[in-house]
Structure 1
């Protein structure tokens, strides 16, 4: 009765909005999330978040954009960005896992950019620290170049992590999770008002986790706190202040890599080279946001936000100095202390105006950023020597013969990083877009352009500067109220730093994306499908000069690379209680042209595969919850992931060996009512040997890292 009354009030307020001609604002969307999420479909979103800047419904956007909802994350018991999240979107793979430290998602043949609340938080090739799901509302994946977000970055796309904000509804949720490998996790989510008039709101998320691994001596403990305060200054203006803190205490970075001279997957799934007693790695990750939203009038809205990101790491990484033909090796530990400081600001305006018979959805914005990253990789220590190699066939994980490393940390990191451990970037970028709607907005033409002025340096080199203009054009046509077809042409560029062997000037890497697709809502929007075909071309990418000694620092232009493929995504509520996520992608990434300096080289040839993707990816996740009767609230979940024709991340093996196809099946049971939910899942039900890996020519060895064998998680969540 209470829920029916609330829904009645919500429908009345929606009708009032319609009568006054006003658009639903972000607060109303938050109310929708709180009130009707339980009855609406759990896995489908119709609109992008405010931080993605677009005011166009996703059905009408001429681009492949997929949103992973908080309900999907909870049902799948995803607790961090690197914890099975990618099954929810077509074509995503993680070839180099980096444990639970960095996400590093690959799509359309390249690593995609990492965003948080609309800010590009990439501070180095490896970062940022993977987000804990305790403070995440949803994750948006934008396929292909996205000029409306990317000042610079790989044209394969981006993902945007959207954090939880106050909703204005007093509520809370406490949860506890336990599972295999000594996983113990507690989380708390509080949401409510700090003033009686509802102008001052808060949201507080906290989590603590202890977690070991299927490999000996590994651990990853996480602690998170994320308070948010919003204040409605007046009827038109809202200020939101947010702070996220993550602390990670983990074992040595890189210990999960396994090396062997002859083939992949030749050692037990739980094999490790990590000795007991090895000092671990500690990471502190702080992010602070201030966001101001001002409704100028019913047609125009201004958003301005600033972000400060501070990252500190003290630790080390394991990597062998050598791997012998019989499999024995010398293990090495290298220092990895790092510090990152990023300050970013954005201001953008959204407008919706009519000129005659043409509707204009206007987006204009300014992006500015200053990023500084420094790291010490200059110190290393061999754990073994030629008098006593480490033998994987008879591993001794006790104290190593050469003892544990004693690194110099008395010298300030800024001094230690000057030997080649600095990455700096600063840019200013302007963006303007007009989406013109014709024939009662059934035909939409998007015309846009971005101008970026950027300066950066890497690894102690001289600063490189670049100014670049990137156009964007898209067409979306509504066949009916539930179907649209689209075409897109967009460009991107990535400034590069290095020294060319021929003494020439380093040019930015440029890329363009051509894409067509069809989007359809089914049965009144309960579920949706999205199918797309794309082609991405990248020019002028730098690579080390194969004719020069290793470590020379000299580079050449690789040539031209092409990635092309098809993608299909389905998500939503298929029938009452039945929710489904299913997707498939075909990806092919190859060299289209070889630079002139490589034409006589046997290393790179036209049509050679660009490493780091799976040609076929397919995923499914299904949940069914009983709607009536004595079993009401009980449900079952099942899912699977298949990766076929995988390509290694670095070098092709000399004998043509490839990593195996990948098949993982998961499933579980759950029960819930209005207050309580109990979830139990088993992962890798078939107990398959799951891994990803590559070949490293300079070590003459295969390298891989395994995923956990069959394991389980049980969680209980209580809403109040």
Structure 2
């Protein structure tokens, strides 16, 4: 019999009478059984629209904080009426089931069991069998419509597991959190995530870091498929309107990534069609002429509901807090699910996203030559009014899933993405003399054009089996990706002084682009075979083992001369993964794990002419995780150590030209090691009825071989909080919330030829939110970011350039409707 459990793993054990939980300063206690019985009988507010019964039961479970046990086949195809008003949980559930062939068979604290009846006329009821789910395998990872700040399961590893079952630190930015905080880009979402910090890099193609290591393009996945994104948080920020959630793993993710930094893995999970018809609308008006509209619509396409579709479109037209810059970003996303029989589902989808930024600002502000921050307004920008960046992403994808049985399925995913990017900018550079205000100038006029094609394929099968008295899970798969980049650029010398206190945005006439003086064509291809298993060694003990064999080829050629410029290859590199999870009881577990990644260095050669071995990034971690209120609240605490060893260093003992190296005439050896260590705390989900929270604290230190930090922009102390509380009783239409991002200060040697150390002081940036539900269809929310108008630099880079102010206080008003 196929069963389902709403908002939590099925358990016949009694919940603890009282369990104090301390994470990030929050203390809560579970109610005693007597109090639970009182809560069950008490009336509460329900707001459940008419919809398919399975969806209605999920909302009922979320609003009542009760689990519901039912047979999926019994509720399939049945509609539930709307339930609005104050009822006891039992009264509300009876109203949901009225007119259906399902009834309440029995109840115990926090749990209702449903019964199927043969005919509406009252034939004999058939009691459902209790369904015991090992490891929560029937958890639903989808977060939209749950109202939750946590997820019932993760899918980035392709074996669906809960957060508690995953022996590494993981955060989930849910659909509700994205909406509540107005996080409309992946960049904004990651900036509110535990342990993630942003750094100024690469001609404005900014990067994030985790545990001191860089999150590069290879660290991103889309629906579990790696190698198919380009500059997703830099030049071409991805709009989050297309996502159900973003899963963030901290530490090496070799099982998912293979060749990558040991920083983490970020999995973006696309929205899929829903079983019921829906039309959702949101429009936002914000400071600095920031306007945005979203429409999300879909549902069954045919009468049988075997073909379902969804269309998401968004358009944003905005100016920025710094002068002279504005952008327009249209988005279109469409996806169709089609059931090809009872056991096979085919998915087809496409996304088009464009960005057109006038007055594009590439490098930010310089600093005074003594390392101090400029004494200028936050609206100051060093642009020319002809600066521009235009980019677009066109993506198509397909997926086929076949279910062999209730325990085994196979999935094939295909992705093709094309990116076009065109830039023209005047580049400012130069430290400023504090006394005279001089020293900065437009030194270069830069033109850049890139065309990127990315392809990805993943085939895997997952399942579970019984053996030796336990239930075990298995994953086997293969993946392939290819990315081809054609890039052209040209620079013109300029020497136009900048009055830093009164910059002129029209001091240089718009130049005519000369012929390209640099062209490069590069191609990276990765192939991998992977497998993992989750073995139940004993009732409370699970062993996770896995590994990935990877093959990588990279080559780049000079487009003007045809000469090969770089060429390296890595064959059958193995990245292992191991974890051990011990369940203390139904709610708490302890774990330890090891995972690694690699990065090829065969472009360098040793003194003997042998390609250099890859560097290896390893993550060691141990922790404790809690899953309370049937999975509605997840808690975790972890200690970790990350090491990236065998990095290329110059072999000074072998002077002279090195044979066979395209990257350098120097010889190299494996030698350098980077290290970081620390601990993390996180709480996510429902802290109390109506109170959603995502809070995380990270302490991390790092060092290289010389004892310097490996990532100065990664502060030792980092705290992130997002929360929202829906008021009870007669005030139920109102909600209040907000968040804070706080971190300690940092400093590091400047990149310029000076011994001056610089950095940024510690800061705490607070946000507020207030919401009002007008009726069951419409709601209004007011978000105030940086409510205390904190003056700070969000990124600090060099004396000559690369320093960016954080946003001043700003306001956004959002109207949402559901029809």
Deviation of residue 671 (structure 1)? 0.8
Q: Which runs of 5+ in 2 are unaligned?
A: 1-45, 59-67, 75-127, 559-564, 657-661
Asked whether 1:212 is paired with 2:319, we answer: yes
Conserved in 2, the CA contact under 8 Å of 1:625 and 1:632? yes
* Alpha-carbon distance in 1 for matches of 2:439, 2:403: 66
* Alpha-carbon distance in 1 for matches of 2:378, 2:687: 38
SS in 1 for 2:178: helix
Q: What residue is the counterpart of 1:655 in the other structure?
A: 756
Asked whether 1:290 is paired with 2:402, we answer: no
User: Kindly tell me: are residues 15 and 625 of structure 1, through their superposed partners in 2, closer, same or farther at Cα, counting changes over 3 Å?
Assistant: same
Asked whether 1:688 is paired with 2:790, we answer: yes
User: Kindly tell me: are residues 471 and 28 of structure 1, through their superposed partners in 2, closer, same or farther at Cα, counting changes over 3 Å?
Assistant: closer
SS in 1 for 2:199: coil
Conserved in 2, the CA contact under 8 Å of 1:252 and 1:318? no
* Alpha-carbon distance in 1 for matches of 2:749, 2:530: 34
Deviation of residue 313 (structure 1)? 0.7
Q: TM-score, normalised by structure 2?
A: 0.77
* Aligned partner of 1:583 among 696, 703, 725: 696
Q: What residue is the counterpart of 1:343 in the other structure?
A: 455
Q: What residue is the counterpart of 1:564 in the other structure?
A: 677
Deviation of residue 395 (structure 1)? 1.9
* Alpha-carbon distance in 1 for matches of 2:765, 2:463: 46
* Alpha-carbon distance in 1 for matches of 2:317, 2:767: 23
Q: What residue is the counterpart of 2:478 in the other structure?
A: 366
* Alpha-carbon distance in 1 for matches of 2:422, 2:250: 34
Q: What residue is the counterpart of 2:815 in the other structure?
A: 716
Q: What residue is the counterpart of 2:637 in the other structure?
A: 531
Asked whether 1:437 is paired with 2:549, we answer: no
User: Kindly tell me: are residues 558 and 391 of structure 1, through their superposed partners in 2, closer, same or farther at Cα, counting changes over 3 Å?
Assistant: farther
1:570-621 alpha-carbon deviations (Å, 9 max, x no partner): 1111112211111100111211x4xxxxxxxxxxx24554434111101122
Deviation of residue 2 (structure 1)? 9.1
Q: Which has the larger radius of gyration?
A: 2
The 5-angstrom pairing of residues 494-509 of structure 1 reads 494-496=599-601, 498-499=603-604, 505-509=611-615
Conserved in 2, the CA contact under 8 Å of 1:73 and 1:85? no
Q: What residue is the counterpart of 2:506 in the other structure?
A: 398
Q: What residue is the counterpart of 1:448 in the other structure?
A: 546
Q: What residue is the counterpart of 2:307 in the other structure?
A: 200
Asked whether 1:490 is paired with 2:590, we answer: no
* Alpha-carbon distance in 2 for matches of 1:625, 1:102: 39
* Aligned partner of 1:104 among 181, 185, 207: 207
Deviation of residue 569 (structure 1)? 0.8
1:382-438 alpha-carbon deviations (Å, 9 max, x no partner): 4x52xx5222133222242xx2232246x7xxxx653xx444211110001111112
* Alpha-carbon distance in 2 for matches of 1:298, 1:695: 53
Of residues 258-267 and 366-375 in structure 1, the stretch that sits farther from structure 2 once superposed is: 258-267
Conserved in 2, the CA contact under 8 Å of 1:255 and 1:273? no
Asked whether 1:269 is paired with 2:399, we answer: no
Q: What residue is the counterpart of 1:186 in the other structure?
A: 293
1:210-263 alpha-carbon deviations (Å, 9 max, x no partner): 011111111121100000011000111000011111000013544451013233
Deviation of residue 367 (structure 1)? 0.7
* Aligned partner of 1:642 among 742, 746, 756: 742
Q: Which runs of 5+ in 1 are unaligned?
A: 594-604
* Alpha-carbon distance in 1 for matches of 2:371, 2:651: 28
SS in 1 for 2:241: helix
Deviation of residue 526 (structure 1)? 3.0
Q: Which structure would you say has the larger RCO, counting Cα contacts within 8 Å and 6 or more residues apart? A: 1
SS in 2 for 1:508: strand
* Alpha-carbon distance in 1 for matches of 2:143, 2:189: 24
RMSD: 3.2
* Alpha-carbon distance in 2 for matches of 1:271, 1:102: 21
* Aligned partner of 1:93 among 180, 194, 197: 197
Deviation of residue 309 (structure 1)? 1.1
The 5-angstrom pairing of residues 661-680 of structure 1 reads 661-672=762-773, 673-680=775-782
Q: What residue is the counterpart of 1:598 in the other structure?
A: none
Of residues 289-298 and 552-561 in structure 1, the stretch that sits farther from structure 2 once superposed is: 552-561
Q: What residue is the counterpart of 1:237 in the other structure?
A: 344
Q: TM-score, normalised by structure 1?
A: 0.87
Q: What residue is the counterpart of 1:43 in the other structure?
A: 149
Deviation of residue 542 (structure 1)? 4.3
Q: What residue is the counterpart of 2:168 in the other structure?
A: 63
* Alpha-carbon distance in 1 for matches of 2:348, 2:230: 23
Asked whether 1:303 is paired with 2:411, we answer: yes
Deviation of residue 178 (structure 1)? 0.7
Of residues 143-152 and 704-713 in structure 1, the stretch that sits farther from structure 2 once superposed is: 143-152
User: Kindly tell me: are residues 225 and 701 of structure 1, through their superposed partners in 2, closer, same or farther at Cα, counting changes over 3 Å?
Assistant: same
User: Kindly tell me: are residues 495 and 641 of structure 1, through their superposed partners in 2, closer, same or farther at Cα, counting changes over 3 Å?
Assistant: same
Deviation of residue 693 (structure 1)? 3.8
Deviation of residue 639 (structure 1)? 1.4
Conserved in 2, the CA contact under 8 Å of 1:678 and 1:714? yes
How many residues were matched structurally? 680
The 5-angstrom pairing of residues 399-478 of structure 1 reads 399-400=507-508, 403-408=509-514, 418=519, 421-440=520-539, 442-457=540-555, 461-467=565-571, 468-478=573-583
Q: What residue is the counterpart of 2:805 in the other structure?
A: 706
Conserved in 2, the CA contact under 8 Å of 1:650 and 1:694? no
1:12-52 alpha-carbon deviations (Å, 9 max, x no partner): 7447687496979x999779866x625xxx10112013x54
Conserved in 2, the CA contact under 8 Å of 1:538 and 1:560? yes
* Alpha-carbon distance in 1 for matches of 2:390, 2:269: 25
Deviation of residue 153 (structure 1)? 0.9
Conserved in 2, the CA contact under 8 Å of 1:343 and 1:371? yes
* Alpha-carbon distance in 2 for matches of 1:586, 1:641: 14
Conserved in 2, the CA contact under 8 Å of 1:103 and 1:129? no
